[in-house]
Chains A and B, each alone.
Chain A
Amino acid sequence: MAQATGIGTGTVELAAGSGLVGLITASYMYAYEPLADIPLVMAAGAMGSMVMLASTMFAGSLIYAYGVAVPFASAQVKKDPITGDRQDTYISKGTQGQGLPTICFVSGVVGAALGGAGGGLIYFVLMDLYKPLIALTSAFAVAGVFTMGVMYVNSVIPSYGVGGTIEGVHDPKFRRVVGKDVITSFFVSILCGLLAVLIAGGMSI
């Protein structure tokens, strides 16, 4: 696992894990702060996701650095775009780099923020949609589960575009896949949103 950059698990697991924690923090903000509006709920979601992913990466990095003793370096770039540290001399022969260089960590945290904010947005909108129609506890449950469904679809589809590993915004692959992934996620999310509105129509008996 230490022979490649990043945390050695599927992209989906990380996206789902951080996204779900974002959902928890977003729903907490929604439930306990009566004045919470969309930006606040989205920020809470983003914060939860960032904390989750950052702590996952931090724990992984601790093991890589002090347990496996690998230097963090990426083969995709010569110098880390953030710290400017030289990468190529530290890479083991025949690998793509190892550990989590700063740029990967930052890219991951930014991505988690986007995911968490998106989850918070879906949750907020769905709650406003369902709250007048069914009991409050049911609205929480239905909106939460639906958000989870959308999140899973949206975390898997882009990872198919990536098809394997991606290190962050500095990876040449990023520019290649970001366009088509955004288009796909956009249309799939619109479809899900449409179904969510129609579900509300079905509740009002």
Chain B
Amino acid sequence: MSDIKERSPNQLLLIGIIGGLLGIYLTYILPAISMRISGNSVIMQNVGELLNVIAPTFGALGGICAVLWGADAVRRVAKYGLGTGVPSIGQIAMGMGIIAAMFGLAIVKTIVLAGPIVALVTASIIGFIIGWFAQNVIKMKIPVMIRCMTEIAASGTIIIIGFSAAVAGNFEFANIVTLVFDNGVMLAVFWVGAVAMLHPFNACLGPDEKQKRLLYLAGSTGAITMAIVGIAATMTLGTSGVLTLVLGIVLWIIFYKKFWDEVYHDASSVVGTGLIPKTEA
């Protein structure tokens, strides 16, 4: 297996954290820039409006980065066999992620910009503690447990904040409560986000499982989450939501095609067997 080049965990960790946080922060920074420049001229005003429209979409793109990272972390830990099925780890990821996200966004009060980072740190701490308990009290004997649990919690919180920001427009707690919690969109973010993270390994696991194929599938599940979040955002934000929806569908098609090619590439051969004969030969 050594001849297959894999992305290292650290590489994906950087993609997840930097890509995720960049996307999340752009939802906040772009409207701020647009506010600054829009007074100057008519052209600048148009540019400002455009920035306002595209800003929430970046939250969802950040979410996809975190999905890639989370799916790989799930892959590394679930390879050992958890005894409860892969879905459990996606659900605990979102459970930890949502607690940390709510805490991080709420606790910072008026210093809104610190929110996602506080949430990320909190999630890492929760994940570390749960991983420590799983390893030392429950004695699961999985060497990567603590590290992976930390990563899974952290990526879970970025997924929650990223996709919530895509629906609410930014990540201010009061705003997210009104636009994501009150109307129940949170449940969709929670569930679809969990599936986006757990499905890639759940579908690809087996002796010939390959990271490249899994990551393409993770991209496609992340993109379909983006499309669903886009539908919700059309309800709350209007035009930005349509942009998120369309871009999500386009990304989904791209990633799914890549995954499809990868499956054909890895299979020894793909043959049509025809229908089952009506009468026995």
Most chain B Cβ neighbours within 10 Å, of A10, A196, A201: A10
Most chain B Cβ neighbours within 10 Å, of A146, A156, A187, A196: A156
CA–CA, A134 and B178, complex, Å: 10
**Mask of B75-108 contacts with A, CB within 8 angstroms, 1/0:** 0000000111101110110111111101101111
CA–CA, A195 and B157, complex, Å: 14
**In-complex Cβ contact of B133 among A10, A134, A157, A205 (8 A):** A157
Any B CB within 8 A of the CB of A16: yes
CA–CA, A153 and B133, complex, Å: 12
Give the shortest distance, in Å, between B60 (CB) and chain A (any CB): 20
A202-B108 CB under 8 A given contacts A12-B91, A146-B102, A149-B99: yes
Q: Are A145 and B130 in contact, with the CB atoms below 8 A?
A: no
A156-B88 CB under 8 A given contacts A141-B186, A145-B186, A199-B106: yes
Instruction: Tell me the A residues contacting B by CB distance below 8 Å.
Output: 10-13, 16, 134, 137-138, 141-142, 145-146, 148-153, 155-157, 159-164, 177, 180-181, 183-184, 187-188, 191-192, 195-196, 198-199, 201-203, 205
CB within 8 Å of A: which B204-229 residues: none
Q: Are A152 and B95 in contact, with the CB atoms below 8 A?
A: yes
Give the shortest distance, in Å, between B103 (CB) and chain A (any CB): 4
Q: Would you call the interface of chain B mostly helix, strand, loop, or mixed?
A: helix
Q: Would you call the interface of chain A mostly helix, strand, loop, or mixed?
A: helix
**In-complex Cβ contact of B99 among A141, A156, A192 (8 A):** A192
Give the shortest distance, in Å, between A96 (CB) and chain B (any CB): 14
Question: Chain B residues with Cβ under 8 A from A181's Cβ?
Answer: 138
- How many residue pairs, one in A and one in B, have C-beta atoms under 8 Å apart? 133
Q: Are A201 and B107 in contact, with the CB atoms below 8 A?
A: yes
- B contacts with A, residue count (CB < 8 A): 43
Question: Chain A residues with Cβ under 8 A from B109's Cβ?
Answer: 202, 205
CB within 8 Å of A: which B136-178 residues: 137-140, 173, 177-178
Question: Chain A residues with Cβ under 8 A from B178's Cβ?
Answer: 138
CA–CA, A205 and B89, complex, Å: 35
Q: Are B88 and A12 in contact, with the CB atoms below 8 A?
A: yes
Q: Are B103 and A160 in contact, with the CB atoms below 8 A?
A: no
Q: Whose C-beta in chain B lies nearest to the C-beta of A156?
A: B92
Q: Are B102 and A180 in contact, with the CB atoms below 8 A?
A: no
Q: Are A153 and B110 in contact, with the CB atoms below 8 A?
A: no
Give the shortest distance, in Å, between A111 (CB) and chain B (any CB): 15
CA–CA, A192 and B83, complex, Å: 25
Give 17 pairs: A residue, B residue, CB < 8 Å, sorted on A. A16-B91, A138-B177, A138-B178, A142-B181, A149-B97, A150-B95, A152-B94, A161-B138, A163-B84, A184-B137, A188-B129, A192-B99, A195-B100, A195-B126, A199-B106, A203-B173, A205-B110
**In-complex Cβ contact of A202 among B85, B173, B187 (8 A):** B173
Question: Chain B residues with Cβ under 8 A from A163's Cβ?
Answer: 82-84, 140
CA–CA, A146 and B107, complex, Å: 15
Q: Whose C-beta in chain A lies nearest to the C-beta of B189?
A: A145
Q: Are B126 and A191 in contact, with the CB atoms below 8 A?
A: yes
CA–CA, A150 and B94, complex, Å: 10
Question: Chain A residues with Cβ under 8 A from B133's Cβ?
Answer: 157, 184, 187-188
CA–CA, A12 and B93, complex, Å: 13
Question: Chain A residues with Cβ under 8 A from B102's Cβ?
Answer: 142, 145-146, 149, 195, 199
